[in-house]
Amino acid sequence: MKDIHKNMLQEYLEEFFLKLSNRKIVILGCRGVSAVVYCALKSMGKDILYFLDPDAKYDKDHFGKKEFFGKPVFTCNQLLYEDPDQIAILNTYHYVNRIEPLLQKYGFVEDVDYYNIHGCLKSQYCDVFDPLLGYSRMDDMQGIKILGEESAAALKIVTLGGSTTDYSYSSIKSWPQLLHEILEEKGVSNVVYNGGVCGYSSCQERDKFLRDIIGLKPNLVLSLTGVNDINWTLVYKDNPYYSDYFVNKMVKSICEGVTEQGNKDDKLRLGLTPVMPDYENWYRNERIIRGAANEFGIKFYAFLQPFIFEGNYEMSDFEKNWMNIFLEYGLNEHPAMRMIYEGYSSFYSGAKKLIKDCDYIFDITNAFDNAVGVYTDGVHCDSSGNELLARAILEKLETVGELR
C-alpha cells in the first residue's frame, strides 16, 4: 500500500483561501514559481485578476498588453490604483527584501494583504558574484551550510547538487539534513557540509568540488544530480564545460557586443566544441569528480535523481490536475520546464545505460514509487519526499559497504 501525503503547495493554498474572503487574487511575479502557482490555483477552481512583473519597465504604448497565461501583466505601479481591501497578493517574486518595502509603501500588509509564497517553492536568493560558478551566497561558508559539529570522531560528509539538495529550498528539511539526523540516530557521529545551491548543474558541481571541496578533506562526497543537465537547460550546449548561466550572464556581459560567433575585432571563444548528448556530458562531469576524488583519497558517489514523469510514480489528484493545466498552457510560458519536459526521456534513458554497471553512480529514480503526493512541482518534493531520498541514498551506500 502506498503512503499518501498532503501536497505542501496544496496545503499552503488551502490556508490562503481561508484568509481570502471575497477578495480577488493577484500574483506578483512572472517566472517559474508564478507559473506553478497559477496552474495550482486554476486546478483548485480559483482565478486571478492579473500578474505583476517587478522587473518590467513602464511603457505607455504597451501598458497592459503583455500577457502571461493569457492574463494581463502590469508593473507594480498598478497597485497605486488598487484598494488593499479588494485584492490579495500572492508574492512569488524571489527578491523578497526588494519588493516588500514597495508593497508596504502602497499600503499592503504582510499576511493581511499580501502573502509570501517564496518559502514554499524557492531557495534563498544567491547574491554573491562568483567568477567560476557564476553565483553563490554566504551561508556558514560560501555556498555551504554546516549540519552538526566537527570532531575527531565525526564522519565528514559533503553533499552537492542543485535546489533539490539546497538546504534553504521551501524552508523545509533537506535530504542532507535528514541524512545527518538518520545517521546520528544510528549512532554514526557525522557532520554534513551541504554544498547544494539552486540551479547548479553538474558543471558547477564539478568546479565547486575541484576548487572548494577537496580542501575541506571530507571522507565522503554525495551528489544528487541529473535534472539540471537535461536538454542543456542549465548547461551551455556549444561549450558544455560551462554552465549556461556562466556564459550568458557573465562572459557575454563582460565581452559586451560580442556575439556567439564573435565579430571581426573581438571574438569570444570558450574552447573546443565537442559533439555529445546531454547525458554524456553529465556522465563525464561525474567521472571527473570521481577521478579527482580518488586522487585525494575521498569517496564519491552520485545519485540520479527522481523526476515526476520518470519511473512509476503515481501522482495525486492535485498533482495530476495542476500538471495537466501546466502541460496544456504553461510550457510556452516556462522555457526551462519545457526544455526539461521535452528532453527528460532521452536523458534518463541514456544516463541509465551509462551507469548500469557503474559502482559509484546509482539510479534512485524509483525513490518515490511507493508514495503519492510528495512533489511540489515536477522536480522538487516536500519534507516526506526528502526523507525518502535520504533513506534511498543511505540504502545504496550500505550496499557498497558505506555507513553501516
Q: For residue range 328-366, what is the model confidence (pLDDT) as tens digits?
A: 999 888 888 889 999 999 999 999 999 999 999 999 999
SS3 141: strand
pLDDT of 250 > 90? The answer is no
Alpha helix locations (H) across 312-375? 317-325, 335-355
CB 47 within 8 A of CB 40: no
pLDDT tens digit sequence for 78-104 = 999 999 999 999 999 877 778 889 999
Mean pLDDT, the chain, integer: 91
Q: What is the pLDDT of residue 217?
A: 97
Cα separations in angstroms, 98 against 55, 65, 102, 125, 363: 11, 25, 8, 11, 40
52: Cα separation from own chain's centroid: 23
For residue 3, give the C-alpha cell: 503512503
pLDDT tens digit sequence for 92-139 = 987 777 888 999 999 999 999 999 886 667 788 898 999 899 999 999
- Angular region, 21: left φ>0, alpha ψ -120 to 50, beta rest: left
For residue 81, give the C-alpha cell: 490604483
Q: Is the pTM of this model over 0.85?
A: yes
Eight-class DSSP state of 381: B
Mean pLDDT of the region 177-202: 97
pLDDT of 265 > 50? The answer is no
DSSP string covering 223-266, please? Answer: EEESGGGGGGSSB-TTSTTSBHHIIIIIIHHHTTT--TT--SS-
pLDDT of 72 > 50? The answer is yes
pLDDT of 64 > 60? The answer is no
Residue 219: CA count within 13 A, CB half-sphere? 14
Q: What is the pLDDT of residue 252?
A: 72
pLDDT confidence tier of residue 258, bands split at 50, 70 and 90: low
User: How far is Cα 124 from Cα 118, in angstroms, rounded to an integer?
Assistant: 9
CB 179 within 8 A of CB 220: no
pLDDT of 256 > 70? The answer is no
Q: What is the pLDDT of residue 65?
A: 60
Structural domains in the chain, CATH included, are 3-121 (3.40.50.20), 128-399 (3.40.50.1110)
Residue 240: CA count within 13 A, CB half-sphere? 21
CB 319 within 8 A of CB 7: yes
Q: What is the pLDDT of residue 209?
A: 98
Q: What is the pLDDT of residue 62?
A: 46
